[in-house]
Structure 1
Amino acid sequence: MDLKEIQNLIKFVANSGVAEVKLEMDDVKITIRTTLEGNVTETTYVQQMPAQPVLQQAVAPQQIAPAATSSETPAASEESKYITIKSPIIGTFYRKPSPDKSVFVEVGSTIAKGDVLCVIEAMKLFNEIESEVSGKIVKILVDDMSPVEFDQPLFLVDPS
């Protein structure tokens, strides 16, 4: 089981609303726990043993993946008219420039191209993420102070 499959499994569990999932195969043990709010995900990954064949590792993620895509299909069709603003880097997502300031944007905010939407901290550097489109914020997809991955959706924008 490679890192990408584990990351997809974590995202699936976090979005499903399940509190805990344990996956045990012959040579891999993974436990994923989330809080009810979905803010914190704790993952325990036990390293695979070198003696086990690689073929067995690919079976479980393929069984889980079809369930994820079938449950997300209706939501994806509703949101297809919106533009998704994604994270350009890996880091920690912040909605405010500093703890004592107000948030950059709220749901319903009208934005223009070049407006700062959020800050992502990576390696102690705070990177302002600017909008590449004009429109209205429909949904904020990430909680404040949450870790984000490269290309992870952050905002949905209605361009009309």
Structure 2
Amino acid sequence: MDFDQIKEILELVDKSELTEFDLQMDNVTLRMSKNTIAHPLNNQTVLTDQETRFNEPVRKENIQHTSPAFEEMPISEPLAEIVAEGAMIHSPIVGIVYTAPSPDQPAFKKVGDKVTIGETLCIIEAMKLMNEIKSEVDGTITEILIEDEQVVEFNQPLFRIA
């Protein structure tokens, strides 16, 4: 694996909603993790971008205190987009989708099946890693927008759940 390949992987992970990524190929192990700390606790100081980047001393006018309302903000956008007809589950990565755990087993879910939060809907293979795509909502699958072994793009709609 050369530097350009690592750089390309880094860009793909950065653009995705993944927070962690592990890859083991030949004699190379690559681990990436996004800083997922979205907000500090009350009464802690927040450094400005300039202070963080240039390691300048903290000045009193740059100290900010958080409010309780700030703590309630979501850390990241969910993969499920709520629409009038139900929740739309999107692909968080580019890869090959598998609707069943193996070719000789039935599909994880079909139209009309009930799902709960955390249930596996499909698997997306990306760079020889199998990524389970789990439901982020409770409901019933009303539409499956992909086929087994189809190549899917980042943010491509996969399932509609009402």
* TM-score normalised by length of structure 1: 0.49
Larger Rg: 2
* TM-score normalised by length of structure 2: 0.48
Q: Per residue, is there more helix in 1 or in 2?
A: 1
